[in-house]
Structures are given as C-alpha cells and as structure tokens.
Amino acid sequence: MEPVLEVNSLTMDFGGLRAIDQLNLRVMPSEIVALIGPNGAGKTTFFNCITGIYTPSAGDIFLSVNGRRERLNGLKPNRVTQKGIARTFQNIRLFQNMTVLENVMIGRHCRTSSGILGAIFRDRRTRLEEEKVVSDSYKILEKIGLDRFVNELAMNLPYGAQRRLEIARALATEPFLLLLDEPAAGMNQKETQELDELIVNIRDTENISILLIEHDMKLVMRISDRIYVVDYGKKIARGNPLEIQRNPAVIKAYLGEDPDA
Amino acid sequence: MNVRGELKKSFQISAWFMFLTFPILVIRVNTVENVIEWRWYNMAIVGVSTFLGSALWRYLLSVKEKSQRINAASPGNMTSFQKAFSDKRFFYPALFILIGFVISFPFLFSMYQANIMITALIYVMLGLGLNIVVGLAGLLDLGYVAFYAVGAYSYGLLNFHFGLGFWTTLPIAAILAALAGILLGYPVLRLRGDYLAIVTLGFGEIIRLVLENWGEFSHGPSGIANIPRPSLLGIDMTLTQNTIFTYFVMIGLVLFTIFVVNRLQNSRIGRAWIALREDEIACQAMGIDRTRTKLTAFALGATWAGMGGVVFAAKTTFINPASFTIWESVIILCIVVLGGMGSILGVISGALVLTLLPEYLRAFSEYRMLIFGIMLVSMMVFRPEGIIRNVRRTYTFSKE
C-alpha cells in the first residue's frame, strides 16, 4: 500500500541552524503516527514544512491520495490544505471573534466556490451552497461534541473545547491527513481521555490518517500505531509504542545519560 | 469597589497635578514692578478639577468593568439598542419615521443643511468602504483618501477631456478605484499592522503629490473647475433643485452600499476577510488564499471611495489636491473605529457624528479639535468596540 504522506530526507535550515536534518517519515492510510521528542527538537518546524508555512531547504514531501502522488514542496499553505492536509496549532489559533459555527464554516472555504457576484446577488447556487456549508459545519460540530456552543464566540469557550474546535475546523476542510500539534497540551486527565477517543474515532469513521506531536506519553502510547522520535532535528528512533519505550537512544534523549554508567 | 481607595488615588493625582502646574500657573513674576505674584486660586482650580475629573474617570471605569463581568461579549447578548431594534413593534414605526425624515429632509431644511447632509452621506459611503478593509479584513489602511482622489479626478478629467457625464463616470471611477486598490494591494501583501499603515500612508501621499506636481495631467494645485453637477435625463435644474437631486442620488448610493456591504459581510468572502483579520496563519492553514482575499478587500473597499469621489467632485464642481490630504484618511478611519469596526450601523452613526458634530459645533470652532480628541480618547477607553458593536450572526438548528 502506498503511504499517504511520504517525506524523504527533509532538511530545514534557518541561517546556520539546522532545525531538521535529513528526516524521513511515512504515514500509511488510516494510521495514527506520533512524532515525539524533547522541546526544540524541530517537531513543529516539521509540521510547518509540510503545510507550506516554511519552504524546506532540501528533501521532498509527497502526498498520495486516490492513487495520485503529488509533490508538496513550495506550495502555499492554502494549496496544501486544498490537496488534503489539515492541521491544528500548538498554541490555539482560533478565530476568536467569530462564532464556533463560523470557525468551522471557514474550514469549508476551500471546498466551496461562490464569489463576489454570488455574494451580492445571492443566486440559487450560492444560497444552496451556503445552506450546505451551514448544515455540514453543524454536523461536524455535533460529531466533535461542540454543538451546544454553536453561536458562542470562540474566545468564550473553555480551554478543552477550544482545542476540540481546532480539530473540528481542520476536519471541515475534508483532509486525508490530519496533523495535530500537541492536541492534549494543557488538558486535564478526563479531557485527554475524551480527546484520545475522539482521535481514534476520527481515524476509524473518516478514514483519515493522523500525524500528531504530543508530549503526553500516556496518550501517545495508547493511540499510536507507530512512533517517530526526533532530537536536534534528527530521527533517533522509530517503531511501535513498545519498541520505543525500550529504546536506549530514546531514554537517553529524554532522561539524559547516566553519569555513573 | 473600594471607594476610599479610589478617592485617595484621585486625591494623589490632584496633588501631583497641583505640584506640576505650580511653577507655571501659580508663580508669576511681574517684571514691571519686580514682584512675584502668587496666584493661589489657580492651584485651587487645578486641584479641584483634576480631583473631580479623575474621580469621574475612575467611577466610569469601574462601572464599565462591572458591566463587562456581567455580560461577557457573546452574540446572544445584545445591547439594549439592538434589542429594541429587533423588536418589530418598535422597529417598523421607527423605520417609517426615519424614511419620512430622510425623504422630507431637503424640503424641510435649508440648502445649507442639505449640502452638509450630502457631505455626511459621502462620508457614510467612505466609512462603509474603509470598513471592508479595516473593520472586516483588519488591514490598517491610512491611505484610503487616495481612492477618493482617484474617483474625483476620474470624473474631473474624463469630463474635461471627453465630456463624459456623471452617470457614465460613476461606474468607470468605481472600476478605476478598484484597480488602484489592487495596485496598492500587491506590494503590501506581506505587510501587517504598523508596517502596512506606514506604506498605505505613503501611498496616499504619493497620489496627492503626483496630482499636485504633474501639471499636464492633473492641472496641478489649481485643480479642475467647472465640473458639472449630477444630471437627470438632461433636464435643466436650478442650483436648489440640483442640490436636492444630489441629496437623493447620495441616499440611493448609500442604500446601495449598505445592501452590497451587508451581503458581502455575510458571505463566504466576508467570512474569509474576518478570518484573515483574526489570524492570518490559521486563515491560510484553513485553505484561504491570502493574496486573493486581501486584494478583493482592497479592491472592494476602494470601489466605494471611487464613487464617493465622483459625487464629491460633482457636488463641489471644483477639485484640487488640497481636498485629499492625509487628514481625510484619518477622519474616515476615525469614523470606522469610533462607529464600531465591522458594524454597518456603527459606521453609519460614526460618520454622521463625526461629520455633523463639527458643522453644528461651529460656534465652538476653537474647541472643536479638543472636543474631538476628548471624544475619541474616552470612546477608546470606555467603549473600544465603538458606538454600535458588531454582532455575529447566529443560527438556529433543530435536533432531528
């Protein structure tokens, strides 16, 4: 089977600093892959490269969808989203002064097409499209469990709900691959538990592959099919949760070397 | 609220002011008789007025904070004004009276009043246009007057060279202004906030300086005179009749603007503008084309300035670059910010307040800028969301 996302020896330099060094990564269809590593290891930079916020210095990024393989290097972020990669942000980036529903409706933007004239004249096609955007968005909110907040401003939501809304908004773009950047950060245990069910549920019902960055090891070990560990921009380990837990290089990166050993 | 603490702070402030103003307001050296005059009454005035002023300021701030705690901004919580507005028993009679007033206005009042109203309506249109750029798309544009100038000069020059009339030029000027908007938009695509403000400010000045110095093209500082007033099927009209006609043309154009802006605001594009304002990176990550969204905002914002410019040229029959200074941009920006960013009703009331107040406050013309400044500062402190807050649209769903 062809991987949904294939990243070959990706390198990202910022001046003299090599944030990502020759990183290879694959995400198979309907797979949950975790990317872990200490702070500053280059995980978010890696996401930014894939989603087009940064243009990588070297290497290739391929997205394979429905048997078509496309190179994503150098595409603008909105084009990448249109191709089928959606993401959430480490520090929540919701549209604070828009309602919850509108936040999700923004996600539908790239799957709809009505323009200026349509907006002014509100012809039949535009009206139907608009109605569909509203009902589709509501369905997504129901699925994520945010439907009771529909008309609430995003900024008034409790923290956990804001994180979920980010996921809802990303799902609205109809992705094939969902990138989650620390989705459980700042959540309590119950919220994390619910999140973990949500992520597995998204994978199972929508057939979306998921690549996530996360520091909550319990969550990572519970839901990931495979884990990549990076440190200083380099991959130091790869494998299933059990292998990663036993890997000496990973233990060293996380806990440091034992000076007495 | 800790009343004693607040009063103590006000007292400290007044003491500090008395100390600061002591050398200039209290001591005066009388050089004729070589004596020092002690004007203690000045100190008393400063002390009492700063004490009262600061106490009032603190009281208003605490009231504001209290009310914020009670109703946190949410689309469900409307202001009393908006509640009254949505009540049909109130809304229809009010609308009826408003329509009656608007129609009878030029017949009830003098031509002077009608002219003031035309100017106010032009500013309503300009405000609504800039509202797209600043209020919705969040692009701080300090050179908006450039598009106003483009509109006015389009009419002036097209009429001078080719004899084109008001109605032919109106759409042409709108298109030219939109093109100018795109022209400005391209180089500033990557800029945000302060940087954008500076570049747009420069752009506005460039247009004005070109008009001022490129004599062969724009007739330089002497401007273009004898621009025809709006015509109606070639009927000859007296000045009074024409003013009334211009008034109604302007009413029509404002209604058209409100209609279009309102529809744009609640559309796919309008939402993209607001998303762009809220968070540019997230907006792109959601699949919105930043370039396109920004350029449409600049172009559609500039369109209204172009049309406003044509009416301005037709109304005054004379234009020169002096009418298009940075000051105009600032006023239009104030209209948007004071009225309420993104809110159509807010911008309309902002425009009416800011253009009509100075006219009717001519008696206090020396204090005009002072009143203006105090008003802006207190608005920003006590009601930063503007006269009328923009309320997001709500949707209702039935559970199936």
Confidence grade of residue B82 (pLDDT, cut at 50, 70, 90): low
Nearest beta carbon to residue A153 from set B73, B260, B275: B73
* Confidence at residue A102, expressed as pLDDT on a 0 to 100 scale: 92
Helices B344-360/B239-265 angle, 10° precision: 150
* Confidence at residue B80, expressed as pLDDT on a 0 to 100 scale: 58
Residues of B in contact with A54 (CB under 8 A): none
* Confidence at residue B224, expressed as pLDDT on a 0 to 100 scale: 87
Residue B193 or B179, more confident: B179
Where chain A has pLDDT below 50, the residues are none
Nearest beta carbon to residue A120 from set B260, B274, B287: B260
* Confidence at residue A79, expressed as pLDDT on a 0 to 100 scale: 92
* Confidence at residue B170, expressed as pLDDT on a 0 to 100 scale: 92
Task: Give pairs for B173-177: CB < 8 Å, separation 24+.
Answer: B173/B306, B173/B307, B173/B309, B173/B310, B174/B303, B174/B304, B174/B306, B174/B307, B175/B303, B175/B306, B176/B150, B176/B151, B176/B306, B177/B147, B177/B150, B177/B151, B177/B302, B177/B303, B177/B305, B177/B306, B177/B307, B177/B309
Residue A167 or B102, more confident: A167
* Confidence at residue B84, expressed as pLDDT on a 0 to 100 scale: 62
Residues of B in contact with A53 (CB under 8 A): 281, 284-285
Q: Kindly give, in sequence order, each residue whose CB lies less than 8 Å from that of residue B192, ignoring residues fewer than 6 positions away.
A: B280
Tokens of B69: 């705690």
* Confidence at residue B247, expressed as pLDDT on a 0 to 100 scale: 92
* Confidence at residue A253, expressed as pLDDT on a 0 to 100 scale: 80
Residues 90-149 of A with CB under 8 A from B: 93-99, 101-102, 105-107, 109-112, 114-116, 118-120, 122, 126, 129-130, 133-134, 138, 147
Average pLDDT along chain B: 86
Mean pLDDT of all residues in B321-339: 90
* Confidence at residue B70, expressed as pLDDT on a 0 to 100 scale: 56
The answer to whether the Cβ–Cβ distance between B395 and A138 falls below 8 Å is yes
Domain ranges of chain A: 5-84+175-255, 95-161
Nearest beta carbon to residue A98 from set B73, B260, B278: B278
The CA-CA-CA angle for residues B164, B167, B169, to 5°, reads 50
A254 CA to chain B: closest CA distance, Å? 31
Q: Which of B27-36, B175-184, B193-202 has the highest mean pLDDT?
A: B175-184
ipTM comes to 0.90
Quick: pLDDT tens for B259-278. 999 999 889 999 999 999 99
Nearest to A150 by CA among B397, B294, B88, B167: B397
* Confidence at residue A47, expressed as pLDDT on a 0 to 100 scale: 93
Mean pLDDT of all residues in B158-169: 88
Nearest to A229 by CA among A95, A42, A29: A42
Residues of B in contact with A152 (CB under 8 A): 74-76
Residue B217 or B347, more confident: B347
* Confidence at residue B79, expressed as pLDDT on a 0 to 100 scale: 56
Nearest to A50 by CA among A212, A239, A173, A245: A212
CATH class entry, domain A5-84+175-255: alpha beta
Nearest to A176 by CA among A35, A53, A2, A10: A2
Tokens of B129: 């246009």
Mean pLDDT of all residues in B305-320: 92
Contact B324, B362 (CB under 8 A): no
Quick: pLDDT tens for B222-254. 888 888 888 777 677 778 888 888 999 999 999
* Confidence at residue A85, expressed as pLDDT on a 0 to 100 scale: 93
How far is B135 from B122, CA to CA, in rounded Å? 18
Mutation for A interface: B78, B268, B291, most A CBs within 10 A: B268
Q: In what order do the strands lie in the sheet with A209-213?
A: A85-87, A177-181, A209-213, A32-36, A226-231, A234-239
Confidence grade of residue B58 (pLDDT, cut at 50, 70, 90): confident
Quick: pLDDT tens for B104-127. 888 888 888 889 999 999 999 999
Nearest beta carbon to residue B271 from set A94, A105, A111: A105
Give the three-class secondary structure for B53. helix
Nearest beta carbon to residue A95 from set B72, B260, B274: B274
* Confidence at residue B396, expressed as pLDDT on a 0 to 100 scale: 79
Whether pLDDT at B343 is above 70: yes
Asked if A239 has any chain B CB less than 8 Å from its own CB, the reply is no
Residue in the structure block whose two tokens are 């380099």:
A234
Q: What 8-state DSSP symbol labels residue A38?
A: S
How far is A134 from A125, CA to CA, in rounded Å? 14
